[in-house]
Structure 1
């Protein structure tokens, strides 16, 4: 069952068989949601939560082709969560980490919750042999504050259209600063929604760690 809504329109409910949805996602002609930057997400199904926690694999995964597409996919996912999570999950949060396949000494965290809003985190750690980033440099890159107890920088946005766009832009920019060559060098790790179940993010086009 799908529930969709647009501004100034009544919500629309439709039923789609799983095999039909999978075919549509796998088809290169499947419709894709656009973002404020004009890019499109790599798949119409951005995320999937399985409350039973079994975590069956998602067969229609499509690898993200480049950085503009990754930024668009992140924006589309965060925009969708901004509108959908509270109504669907109440006070639960959703979160995941983006990590590098070659450097596991840092992670870029993404979280959205009714209490904390839309928040990005990035570890203070950098590549071996490189100096730790200075406060002025991190702030100029868009990070807002440093949390000494966790050794992370964070940036907090209001959930919604503008917040999703700003968070997606900062995330991709930071990945560039961390020396990641291409989205194919990234992995999604520790994806959670609430306390139970299994969360898939096929719309990001990034493999699981």
Structure 2
């Protein structure tokens, strides 16, 4: 990875300030502020970006909107006429500035055409202007394979970006399936739970907990049964396969309980530390409530 010495941090902060505030800033051009070595882990990428992100926030203030894509951050600072975007992928982190009205309208059009400019967005009423054009729809994944892929991507994105953007906060959601309505599965990322940050829990009280049932649940991917009759699996963020493993468990369990299509599944009670509104267009299933009017 590139180093993050004081000079590099200062340069990133200078760039952020100039892109957001200077009249002669070069708009719609991404500037690389950090490069990652090939095959770096999400934890390595997160910690490499941390000092630069903190330097930028110290210079220009907290973001207007937090968020991430399937492959990188999606953090925005909204000026009166300009948006500064921190983006990137597994290879690099980028800063770019955009004319606000054109940016939000183009992003709305991308959503409307079926693409995902971001996987999740957290609105904590940060400083800055509201430029409207927020997409109100939601596109669930097309089939189980895509649902599993989207779930894995959003879990990995939370692990890589939430501890940096919202230090200490957990993220969680609940899943219900229409053919098994009322049975709750809880999925979460909890950075305070060292070495078991990813977690899924399923209410299994409708079944007698026999040795045969235990073998069946473990074959599905569940690790153990708690005192309330719920099965759980906990995985460490340091395991690069953990998000995909948890996503596969979620889909396998839903299908084993009779769910035929991912369109029968709804995510609800979606929260990040019970603070702000967390929107998850990239979660892979339907959501409740949908994002409200915002024009």
Same fold (TM over 0.5): yes
- 2:94 maps to what in 1? 12
**Uncovered stretches (5+) of structure 2, i.e. residues with no partner:** 1-75, 77-84, 126-132, 289-295
Query: How is 1:18-37 mapped onto 2 (pairs within 5 angstroms)?
Result: 18-28=104-114, 30=115
Q: State the Cα RMSD in Å.
A: 2.4
CA change 1:15–1:164 in 2 (3 A) is farther
Q: Is the 2:104–2:134 Cα contact (8 Å) retained in structure 1?
A: no
Greater shift, 134-143 or 71-80, is seen at 134-143
| Residues 156-187 of structure 1: per-residue CA shift (max 9 Å, x gap) | 11226311111111111111111111011111
- 2:234 maps to what in 1? 156
| Residues 98-137 of structure 1: per-residue CA shift (max 9 Å, x gap) | 10124323122110011220111111134xxx65572122
**Aligned mate of 1:138, from 195, 201, 217:** 217
Q: Is the 1:86–1:92 Cα contact (8 Å) retained in structure 2?
A: yes
Q: Runs in 1 of length 4+ with deviation above 6 angstroms?
A: none
The answer to whether 1:193 aligns with 2:272 is yes
| Residues 75-113 of structure 1: per-residue CA shift (max 9 Å, x gap) | 110111111010011000000011012432312211001
Query: How is 1:103-182 mapped onto 2 (pairs within 5 angstroms)?
Result: 103-116=180-193, 117-126=197-206, 134-148=213-227, 150-159=228-237, 161-182=240-261
- Tell me, what secondary structure is at the counterpart of 1:110? strand
**C-alpha separation between the residues in 2 aligned to 1:75 and 1:63?**
14
**Aligned mate of 1:45, from 118, 133, 150:** 118
- In the alignment of these two chains, the number of paired residues is 189
Work out which of the two has the higher radius of gyration on C-alpha atoms and give 1 or 2: 2
TM-score, L = length of structure 2? 0.58
Higher relative contact order (CA 8 A, sep 6+): 1
- Tell me, what secondary structure is at the counterpart of 1:202? coil
- 1:36 maps to what in 2? none
**Aligned mate of 1:91, from 161, 168, 173:** 168
TM-score, L = length of structure 1? 0.80
